[in-house]
């Protein structure tokens, strides 16, 4: 897994990764759980709908009774792209890298980095969750299973 102190592909010190705002009301519990290496999602107590990305209400019935659950951390690559250029310094230092939509086994889809060479990724590939640790948060990063 990449670390927060990773060097750029050219061997120079890598700029810092932009990190999420930890004070945002809807997503703060999600990001707090990542520090413990837990990938969480919500389920509506009223209708049973899975809700992801975190929010204050169910996207199906608009109910406000949402429960947090932990994902088992496995899923399947739904689709992906290889990022070969980027304007932001941190991401520019990492190109090429793979960004994929992952269909989690629990039934939600998320966008995340897949730590795999660009020529080794494929649709339908099984992946497992790993983490890139930072002081206040950990970033979900997937690897082939």
* Residue 6 included in any domain: no
* Residue 121 included in any domain: yes
Q: 1 pLDDT band (50/70/90 cuts)?
A: very low
Helices and strands in the chain: count of H runs, count of E runs: 2, 8
Residue 132 gets which letter from DSSP?
A: E
Q: Is the pLDDT of residue 2 over 90?
A: no
Provide the mean pLDDT of the chain.
92
Q: How many domains does the chain have?
A: 1
* Residue 14 included in any domain: no
Question: What is the pLDDT at residue 124?
Answer: 98
Domain containing residue 124:
28-144
- Please give the model's pTM, rounded to 2 decimal places: 0.85
* Residue 19 included in any domain: no
* Residue 63 included in any domain: yes
CATH number at residue 134: 2.40.50.840
* Residue 126 included in any domain: yes
* Residue 4 included in any domain: no
* Residue 98 included in any domain: yes
Q: What is the pLDDT of residues 69-100, one digit of tens each?
A: 999 999 999 999 999 999 999 999 989 999 99
Q: What is the pLDDT of residues 18-56, one digit of tens each?
A: 999 888 999 999 999 999 999 999 999 999 999 999 999
**Parallel, antiparallel, or unpaired for β 138-144 and 74-83?**
unpaired
Q: Is the pLDDT of residue 8 over 60?
A: no
Q: Can you tell me the distance from the alpha carbon of 143 to that of 3, in angstroms, rounded to the nearest whole number?
A: 14
Using a pLDDT cut of 90, give the percent of the chain over it. 83
Determine phi and psi for 28, rounding to 5 degrees: -55, -45
């Amino acid at each position: 897994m990449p670390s927060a102190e990773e060097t750029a592909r050219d061997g120079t010190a890598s700029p810092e990764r932009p990190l999420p705002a930890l004070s945002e009301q809807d997503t703060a519990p999600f990001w707090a759980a990542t520090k413990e290496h837990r990938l969480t999602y919500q389920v509506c107590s009223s209708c049973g709908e899975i809700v992801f990305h975190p929010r204050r209400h169910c996207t199906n019935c608009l109910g406000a009774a949402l429960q947090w659950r932990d994902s088992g951390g496995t899923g399947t690559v739904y689709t992906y792209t290889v990022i070969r250029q980027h304007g932001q310094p941190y991401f520019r230092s990492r190109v090429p890298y793979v960004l994929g939509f992952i269909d989690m086994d629990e039934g939600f889809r998320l966008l995340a980095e897949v730590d795999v060479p660009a020529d080794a990724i494929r649709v339908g590939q099984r992946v497992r969750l790993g983490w890139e640790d930072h002081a206040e948060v950990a970033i979900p990063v997937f690897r082939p299973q």
